[in-house]
Structure 1
Amino acid sequence: MRSLGKTRWSRPVGRAVSVGLCGAALAVAALATPGPAEAAPERPSQRGGGWDLKDSGTDARFRGLAAVSRNTAWVAGAQGTVLRTSDGGRHWRNVSPPGAGALEFRDVEAFDGRRAVVLAIGEGEASRVFRTADGGATWTESFRNTDPRAFYDCMTFFDRRHGLAMSDPVDGRYRILSTADGGRSWKVLPSDGMPAAQQGEAGFAASGQCLVSSGSRDVWLATGGAARARVLHSADRGRTWTATDAPIPAGDPARGVFGLAFRDRTHGIAVGGDYRADQPSPKAAATTGDGGRTWAAAAEPPPAYRSGVAWLPGSRRGALAVGPTGTDVTTDGGRSWRTVDTGSYDTVDCTRDRACWASGEKGRIARWERD
């Protein structure tokens, strides 16, 4: 897996319509429409809205993010840090698992304000899964990897019970971990339905989005580090897979697909590129309309590497992409993108009640606010 920010890399997820910055910003303005009992936020950013930074009280880097609602969100990151808010980010409670300070959390999946599952990355026993059912007051370690060849990167859930986690290739194939009880217990799935990995191929633990699902059975896995960037798809909860090349920069351990988002089982967006700041990423996004069987490069991609992506709630064509150099929006399903913010974020997640959250380096956590 790719442990970004580390020095060590182990073995080697129609016509373009051009939109102006104003139109792009207005496309996400509806995200933060307040509910009936909630007043509109008073922090204007740019025309249409923008990210409102929250005080997390820490400088940990948060690559794991689970947005539950406009008020409730979880983040997970460096030094075993897990935070939770229930008041829209005004206050953050440190709910880190005891004794986890040496771990690197890179993914968190939350069902509500009390139940969440976090994934720690690393070789061998550094890869672990923790679960809480009381808002982080107590945690249970439900999985600890004992295979020194495995390195878990990302996690996803189909519903409150069924979920998967993925490891970089072991014996030439990606390893899939499965739960059917909400993360209380896990088992490794058979690998005979997994296509062979390319030489040097792996996943990127950059945003918790190298393994994503849509619906009750479909799941996609993003790869990089090899000659070709690929997206693998399973329609049976991870038992059998097919692989498709993605038109995103590859051919180097720092390049590939870093994040995926699907708004249904057919329409998806892939983002990535080259995560090194001194390297260009001319084709940082791609789209699919057939469940990942084919991918098309964005006609007007984001201007640089992007690690996270999310569909705007209630929209069939709008999405946000984030990375260290900014946030971009699309209003045409991912074919063209426009930058709307230059702040650094690693991941983004949106909720059914029309809120979007982002998190990243130096304790940065933000929620999109309308003007």
Structure 2
Amino acid sequence: MKTLRIAALAAGVLLTASMITTPASAGGHRPTYEWELTPTGSASQFRGLAAVSKDVAWIAGSAGQVLRTVDGGKKWQNVSPAGAELLQFRDVEAFDARRAVVLAIGPGEDSRVYRTVDGGKHWTETFRNTEPTAFYDCLDFNDSRHGLALSDPVGGKFRIAGTSDGGKSWKVQSSAGMPAALPGEFAFAASGTCLVAGAGRTAWFATGGGDRPRVFRTVDGGRTWKVTDSPMASGAAAGIFTLAFRGPLYGVALGGDFEKPTEAVRAASVTYDGGRSWRLIPAAQAPKGYRSGSAFVPGTLATVVAVGPSGSDVSLDGGHHWTQFSDANFDSVECAGHGRQAGCWASGAKGAVGRLTR
């Protein structure tokens, strides 16, 4: 099944269980969300998505395509790396309208990283995997210099590559501090959010494929990791596909079974302690289908958006209760920016891109 960030703590407010366990805690007004489609002119499937603001976003996908908009989606520019037509881009992280890093996935040398500093006019290949059994799934950055990329297990342990210079160079880290993988365990390259990075040197990644999904956590930039079992379901095509965190403690995990996109069995959970433990969300309150991407909405205390092939959902209480607001087919969602410049974007199959409106 290999065919398949992180908002800072808003205004210094610490989310607690008592603040977000009921819909009423989000306030009496329930906003109406919808996707404003922004045609790209492409037929690629865009699982890689980087939101910079309401005006600037990058998408990366199949056939080696990378597109960029700087005008809120009115026009998308094809800024694909030359010679990348056979690659499958599944993640893109952008610092602004000019600087971005994209990840190509696949076994062996198909897993690569490219970097641009001029809006995609020129790209430099900064990493090419040389381990035949490695398969990189997703990457993320703590800041403009420090980032991590996640590979499926090599020799029985997940593999991490790190950068401390904004993606100019990458180094595969020692696996000494990585717990052993379970039989059949891997990560999903579905939306670029199987690994997410927080403030400082904190990061999390989520898995599936084994007899139970798990969440791994580091506080030292990937040198050492702790792992926690999840109460969510797992299987050959099932597990945790996406993580979203609001600050260092509160997070949401979503997933399901990729082969059953309209079903969701034990497919949502939340954490109050930075991923050390997870609470399963009852089926009656969870999204009704498999979801591959999620993100907290800027300017809100606890609003989360999730997307998948069978629709999009919103939670106003930090992931405890979900309501579907669209049946559009998207794979990825990401939010960024502050104040009037804040924006959320979604991307998916057949060149589909939407910008969240309310």
Q: What's the TM-score once normalised by structure 1's chain length?
A: 0.88
Structure 1 residue 24, shift from structure 2 partner: 8.3
* Structure 2 residue ranges without an equivalent (≥5): 5-16
Query: How far apart are the structure 1 equivalents of 2:37 and 2:262?
Result: 28
Residue of structure 2 equivalent to 1:64: 48
Structure 1 residue 280, shift from structure 2 partner: 2.7
- Does residue 297 (structure 1) correspond to residue 284 (structure 2)? The answer is no
Residue of structure 2 equivalent to 1:313: 298
Residue of structure 1 equivalent to 2:7: none
- Does residue 243 (structure 1) correspond to residue 230 (structure 2)? The answer is no
Check conservation: 1:67, 1:351, Cα contact below 8 A: yes
SS in 1 for 2:350: helix
Residue of structure 1 equivalent to 2:245: 262
Q: After superposition, what is the alpha-carbon deviation per residue over 1:251-280, rounded to whole angstroms, capped at 9, x for unaligned?
A: x21000000011111111001010113673
SS in 1 for 2:102: strand
Structure 1 residue 25, shift from structure 2 partner: 5.5
Query: How far apart are the structure 1 equivalents of 2:250 and 2:299?
Result: 14
Query: How far apart are the structure 1 equivalents of 2:132 and 2:100?
Result: 26
Query: How far apart are the structure 2 equivalents of 1:169 and 1:64?
Result: 22
Residue type at the aligned position of 1:241: W
Residue type at the aligned position of 1:254: A
Query: How far apart are the structure 1 equivalents of 2:68 and 2:217?
Result: 32
Residue type at the aligned position of 2:352: R
Structure 1 residue 2, shift from structure 2 partner: 2.3
Q: Which runs of 4+ in 1 moved over 6 A?
A: none
Residue of structure 2 equivalent to 1:333: 318
Check conservation: 1:24, 1:330, Cα contact below 8 A: no
Query: How far apart are the structure 2 equivalents of 1:288 and 1:24?
Result: 25
Check conservation: 2:261, 2:310, Cα contact below 8 A: no
Structure 1 residue 289, shift from structure 2 partner: 0.6
Query: How far apart are the structure 1 equivalents of 2:267 and 2:51?
Result: 24
Q: How many residues align?
A: 337
Q: After superposition, what is the alpha-carbon deviation per residue over 1:170-214, rounded to whole angstroms, capped at 9, x for unaligned?
A: 010000000011100000111000000000000000000011011
Query: How far apart are the structure 2 equivalents of 1:170 and 1:338?
Result: 39
Query: How far apart are the structure 1 equivalents of 2:357 and 2:250?
Result: 26
Check conservation: 2:306, 2:314, Cα contact below 8 A: yes
Structure 1 residue 284, shift from structure 2 partner: 1.8
Residue of structure 2 equivalent to 1:226: 210
Check conservation: 1:24, 1:340, Cα contact below 8 A: no
Query: How far apart are the structure 2 equivalents of 1:339 and 1:83?
Result: 28
SS in 2 for 1:281: coil
Q: After superposition, what is the alpha-carbon deviation per residue over 1:48-94, rounded to whole angstroms, capped at 9, x for unaligned?
A: 34100011001100000000011000000000000000000000000
Q: After superposition, what is the alpha-carbon deviation per residue over 1:133-155, rounded to whole angstroms, capped at 9, x for unaligned?
A: 00000000000001101000000
CA RMSD in angstroms comes to 1.6
Q: After superposition, what is the alpha-carbon deviation per residue over 1:300-356, rounded to whole angstroms, capped at 9, x for unaligned?
A: 110011000000112221100110011111111111111111111101011123311
Residue type at the aligned position of 1:159: D
Assess, with a 3 A threshold, how the Cα gap between structure 1 residues 80 and 25 changes in structure 2: closer, same or farther: farther
Residue of structure 1 equivalent to 2:347: 359
Query: How far apart are the structure 1 equivalents of 2:22 and 2:82?
Result: 50
SS in 2 for 1:167: strand
Q: What's the TM-score once normalised by structure 2's chain length?
A: 0.91
Residue of structure 1 equivalent to 2:12: none
Assess, with a 3 A threshold, how the Cα gap between structure 1 residues 131 and 23 changes in structure 2: closer, same or farther: farther
Check conservation: 2:138, 2:193, Cα contact below 8 A: yes
Residue type at the aligned position of 1:58: S
Assess, with a 3 A threshold, how the Cα gap between structure 1 residues 25 and 128 changes in structure 2: closer, same or farther: farther
Structure 1 residue 17, shift from structure 2 partner: 2.6
Structure 1 residue 128, shift from structure 2 partner: 0.2
Percent identity of paired positions between Structure 1 and Structure 2: 53
Residue of structure 2 equivalent to 1:29: none
Among 114, 125, 133, the residue aligned to 1:141: 125
Residue of structure 1 equivalent to 2:77: 93
Larger mean Cα displacement after TM superposition, 273-282 or 328-337: 273-282
SS in 2 for 1:79: helix
SS in 2 for 1:329: strand
Query: How far apart are the structure 1 equivalents of 2:23 and 2:124?
Result: 49
Structure 1 residue 245, shift from structure 2 partner: 1.1
Check conservation: 1:25, 1:49, Cα contact below 8 A: no
Query: How far apart are the structure 2 equivalents of 1:111 and 1:311?
Result: 18
